[in-house]
Structure 1
């Protein structure tokens, strides 16, 4: 497979099925997993595997899993792709995917390397990590919008984020 050093597996996945599929790819030996929800497009999951993994076996395992979901009455996506990726500076390359994002009327979520001039917006700086923590997930955005509405009604003197997931 040289000079490529990684396999990228991509599969469309409805939000209600992403957790199980994410667990599967970790069990198959993924080095990293990205859940993407591009505006106006179907959600997809991308998982990255070492070059020592067998691409055909990865693809077949995911197809078998999706077939099992279909037999249970779920409607997962059909398209599964596995492509070779060239080696590059992954430590830095992934950062281009995390840009400042406006939330509601007063907030903006930004990674520490790309903090915008907020103007009238309050900047929430989040260091994206392997676990939950990019700030771009729909549940995070919904919570922030609800929080914004609550503090507009009556701003608390103190607030804490317990991070309970």
Structure 2
């Protein structure tokens, strides 16, 4: 069905109230974005952040009369100045098809590819990970995951035991297994991530070499390679837990870190690890370190 969008410009403190008003007037969905297109990285846990000037968009069926809705907004004390808004018509589309068309196979390094199931494999003889975009668990499109995959492509992982800490979709563990790792252990606080990792491992023919656990269930072990693509805050807080997984002389890969956060993350691990030069992509950093003997 066709739709119409009503986008209202609101100051930061009023943005959630304007969103509530749009929903109260029949909006099927409400979204928020910055009028200046400035990103927000890693907001505090449980905190919603709005922008100084926020664009609040309500989605309505195309036949909706917006005049009463605009009249209700103008009555609000939030808009002491003139109400700034615009409307946009959205044609009826096959949104699922359009979404699928945006995803293509991506190569990382020289031999590693991530391929959606509905696309042809560009290089059948390469190392191909069959993985469909899903619930933000990691598909290689974000620089943090890309940095880790590119490192794996150039690393020697054959015969090693690997831990994927915060495994998400399982993409890093699966990549390591396809590149020759002996076995992989994935841990995550989200049960759905463990389900996704297992399903993706089955699709790629490596399920028998991947074991997944919630933190409360994970066994004590040490591995030659540990990967943690999460965020800077948890990397610092969980340094003792993550470090304990790395065998003496083993390697640690950490990502999900902004450039300004590197010193704090390294400080949490410096006592036990020697760091290599950082790798940077689009403001995000991957850290590689070896545990001291």
TM-score, normalised with respect to structure 1: 0.52
* Matched positions, count: 118
2:13 counterpart residue number: 16
2:91 counterpart residue number: 86
Structure 2: runs of 5 or more not aligned: 40-50, 103-132, 150-165, 170-189, 193-230, 245-293
Instruction: Using CA pairs under 8 Å that are at least 6 residues apart, name the structure with larger relative contact order, 1 or 2.
Output: 1
CA RMSD of aligned residues (A): 3.9
CA distance in 1 between counterparts of 2:22 and 2:99 reads 19
SS at match of 1:36: strand
2:38 counterpart residue number: 39
Q: Which of 11, 24, 28 is residue 25 of structure 2 equivalent to?
A: 28
- Deviant stretches of 4+, over 4 Å: 91-97, 121-127
CA distance in 1 between counterparts of 2:22 and 2:31 reads 11
Q: Tell me if structure 2 keeps the 8 A contact 1:14–1:77.
A: no
CA distance in 1 between counterparts of 2:237 and 2:67 reads 50
Shift of 1:12: 1.9
2:68 pairs with 1:57: yes
TM-score, normalised with respect to structure 2: 0.32
Q: Aligned pair in 2 of structure 1 residues 91, 25: CA closer, same or farther (>3 Å)?
A: farther
Q: Aligned pair in 2 of structure 1 residues 96, 26: CA closer, same or farther (>3 Å)?
A: farther
2:148 counterpart residue number: 120
CA distance in 2 between counterparts of 1:25 and 1:81 reads 14
Q: Aligned pair in 2 of structure 1 residues 69, 49: CA closer, same or farther (>3 Å)?
A: same
Report matched runs for 1:112-151 at 5 Å: 112=134, 115-116=139-140, 118=145, 119-120=147-148, 124=168, 144-151=231-238
Flag the structure with higher helix content.
1
CA distance in 1 between counterparts of 2:13 and 2:84 reads 17
Report matched runs for 1:145-164 at 5 Å: 145-152=232-239, 154-155=240-241
Q: Deviations over 1:35-73 (max 9, x none)?
A: 1132178421111101231022222222333xx1246xx
SS at match of 1:59: helix
Q: Aligned pair in 2 of structure 1 residues 36, 115: CA closer, same or farther (>3 Å)?
A: same
SS at match of 1:120: helix
Flag the structure with higher strand content.
2
Q: Aligned pair in 2 of structure 1 residues 90, 146: CA closer, same or farther (>3 Å)?
A: same
SS at match of 2:56: strand
Structure 1: runs of 5 or more not aligned: 98-110, 128-143, 158-165
